[in-house]
Structure 1
Amino acid sequence: MTSEPVSPRARLYRHLTVAAIACCVVAWSAVPASAIEPTSAINASEVATLVSDAAPDLIEPAPAVETGSSFEAGTLGTDTSIPVSPDDPIEVSTTVGGRELSASITLPEGLDLSRAEATDDGTVVYTSDNDASVAVQALETGDTRVHTVIPDPHATHEAEFGMDGFRAVVDTTGNAAFVQDGREGVAVPVDAPWATDASGAPVPTHYEVRGDRLVQIVSPTDATIYPIVADPTWGWRNATWGLTLTRSETANIKDYAGASSFCAALAKDKRLVLACGLWSGYLQVQAATANNLRPKGCLHIVVAPLPGAISHTYC
């Protein structure tokens, strides 16, 4: 029995059908990690384990004792109050340059976080059923670390932090800090951002400033394996008390004479005890650098505990 001849048009349709099926199979098998389905909700214990495994150092969190509305932790002269409600800020009390400082850190908004739960290692965790979870640690060093655990590609990859009475700044090298409002006040450094995925591989991340807030942005690649742990750390032990110069003051220190006059005024005011002859040259160089930034920057001059140190901020 002979088969019916296949027309050229039928052969074309058959080839197109096979090719379409093959393309679908290839496309399905080539879905990158960043396009996987959402993972199930992560509980507090799992969040704490992920954070512990991801941390780049061996610094442990201090025990967090629940007092009703908060979890309290005390480490190296820093007292930290971590709220039970995610709507309330983290409260920190410490000493900077011989002066008492009380500051608050707001948790990222819009994550639909649950009430806090303390895990066995002292990590205080706010879980989310459908978005990133947050874990807070008062470290044994006295610093405050706030982790964001991103469960899948559909979750938020940005975490925004604020401090009441402070403004966030990021310099040209990506270093961040919160500078207290006003001419005299504290500058609290924020450690360089990091993020790692489930395999321990680093994930690109950086800081941006929006208004007076600091935003950590995580940018996964096709090779990223979820969940991701990201972190900013407030370095209270490295905070400094000093003077933040205005844009015009920074611009006026454009030559050695201007720098010398400024140093003499500070010395007369007894806020800085410096050898102006040497320090003025350093001040002039730093002011010139700030004036050449785009946008132009300002200087923060440390009074205590390291008199005369200078950092750049945007103003």
Structure 2
Amino acid sequence: MRIEVPASPTEPVVVGEGDKAVGIHRPGDPSTEVSELQNGVGTHEIVGGSEVVTAVKADSTVQIATVLNDASAPGRFDYAIDLPEGARLELSNGQPFVWAADGSMIGGFFPAWAIDASGQSVATHYEVAGNVLTQVVEHENDTELTYPIVADPAYRRGMIDQVKWERWANGGWEIRLTVTTLARVTQPINPAIVDTEGLRDLREHHPRGMEKRTMAQQWDCHVVGLPGTINIDLESYRRSWDDWRAGIIPAILQGNPAKACNW
């Protein structure tokens, strides 16, 4: 996946290609340059002596950490988003997503997060106006906070990280996959998005393996238990079961929660 972090803070961080490319403009002083550190992390100053630190994680998450050094730092940080034609930026339960013109998800931001130097959570939330994403960090009137405070917008494409294999075995298709960090942090507040967009991805790239109804049912079930899941296995030779939710509690009570989605 294409990810570009330009040296100038006036230029956007670009994630994706073609009609899936999203540009994220960072807050900052146009006169400052990004300094490149040994690990490729870029940082530049913003008003109040605070900083924006841009980093690309190993899983292709783009992290834009805003560091508030003291109480004089602003409480609102704007990120203008360059969107593909017809795309839109919207909040769902307070979490920002970029949706393509056809209604599919291009990518999403992690839920708003901010923490002070002592490890205390700081009240924060996102606002959206058109193509501008604003993170609001409510620190100005809180005398109990310890600076610096780090607020952490992060963006990632997609819900499926890797399909390790798609193979024919036992008279059906087996698919083993892992999900993205975005899927894991989205599941507690927007499980329907993880479910729908992950299934859309799997059906698009693995139409033969995902053809049977049972594969979608197994995916739905695994999304419910996503926080405790590493590898997800879908097997087309399993029976279709519309009432699969009825098997979750018995599997847990038997001490074998994995069985809930492998009926």
**TM tier relative to shorter chain:** 0.5 to 0.7
Structure 2 residue aligned with 1:88: 11
Shift of 1:306: 4.4
2:118 partner SS: coil
Asked if the contact 1:188–1:239 (Cα under 8 Å) also holds between the matched residues in 2, the reply is no
Name the amino acid aligned to 1:92.
V
Matched, 1:197 2:116: yes
Cα distance in 2, alignment partners of residues 170 and 129 from structure 1: 27
Alpha-carbon spacing, 1:205–1:152, altered in 2? closer, same or farther (3 Å): same
Counterpart of 2:153 (choices 232, 235, 239) is 232
Provide, for residues 5-31 of structure 1, a one-character-per-residue CA deviation record: whole Å limited to 9, x for no partner. xxxxxxxxxxxxxxxxxxxxxxxxxxx
- SS of 1:304's equivalent in the other structure is helix
Aligned match of 2:256? none
Relative to 1, partners in 2 of residues 1:191 and 1:239: Cα closer, same or farther, differing over 3 Å?
farther
2:94 equivalent in structure 1: 174
* Larger Rg belongs to: 1
Question: Gaps (5+ residues) in structure 2?
Answer: 162-195, 204-215, 221-263
What is the Cα deviation at residue 233 of structure 1? 0.9
Of 184, 190, 200, the match for 1:304:
200
Residue aligning to 1:79: 2
Query: Relative to 1, partners in 2 of residues 1:239 and 1:162: Cα closer, same or farther, differing over 3 Å?
Result: farther
For residues 129 and 152 of structure 1, do their structure 2 counterparts lie closer, same or farther at Cα, with a shift above 3 Å needed? same
3-state SS in 2 of match to 1:130: helix
Matched-pair contact (CA < 8 Å) for 1:113–1:133: no
Report the Cα distance in structure 2 between the residues aligned to 1:128 and 1:113, rounded to whole angstroms.
10
Contact 1:167/1:213 (<8 A) preserved: no
The alignment's TM-score, normalised by the length of structure 2, stands at 0.55
Q: Given that residues 6 and 13 in structure 2 are in contact (C-alpha distance below 8 angstroms), is that contact kept between their aligned partners in structure 1?
A: yes
Instruction: Label 1:218 to 1:199 Cα distance change in 2 as closer, same or farther (>3 A).
Output: same
Q: Is the 8 A contact 2:10 2:30 kept in 1?
A: no
Please give the secondary structure, in 2, of the residue aligned with 1:305: helix
1:226: Cα distance to partner?
1.2
User: 1:150·1:227 contact (CA, 8 Å) conserved in 2?
Assistant: yes
Q: CA deviation at 1:239?
A: 7.8
Query: Match for 2:20: what amino acid?
Result: L
Equivalent in the alignment of 1:149: 67
Task: Determine if contact 1:162/1:214 at 8 Å carries over to the other structure.
Answer: yes
Q: TM-score, normalised by structure 1?
A: 0.47
Distance 1:179 1:162 in 2: 16
- CA distance in structure 2 between the aligned counterparts of 1:185 and 1:216, rounded to whole angstroms: 24
Contact 1:136 1:146 in 2 (8 A): yes
For 1:163 and 1:129, how far apart are their aligned partners in 2? 20
Distance 1:128 1:158 in 2: 12
CA RMSD of aligned residues (A): 2.9
**1:210 corresponding residue in structure 2:** 129
Gap runs ≥5 in structure 1? 1-77, 241-300, 311-315
**Aligned-residue offset at 1:185:** 4.8
- Rounded to whole Å, the distance in 1 between the matches of 2:31 and 2:117 is 22
Contact 1:112–1:131 (Cα < 8 Å) also in 2: no
Q: Supply the distance in 2 between the matched residues of 1:116 and 1:161 (Cα, whole angstroms).
A: 17
The 5 A counterparts of 1:9-48 are none
Counterpart-to-counterpart distance in 2, 1:158 and 1:121: 28
Alpha-carbon contact 2:27-2:46 (below 8 Å) kept:
no
Over 3 Å counting, the alpha-carbon distance change for 1:168 and 1:131 in structure 2 is: farther
1:190 and 1:235 in contact (8 A); partners too: yes
Q: After TM superposition, give the deviation of residue 157 of structure 1 in Å.
A: 1.6
Higher RCO (CA-CA < 8 Å; seq separation 6+): 1
The reply on whether 1:137 has 2:50 as its aligned counterpart is no
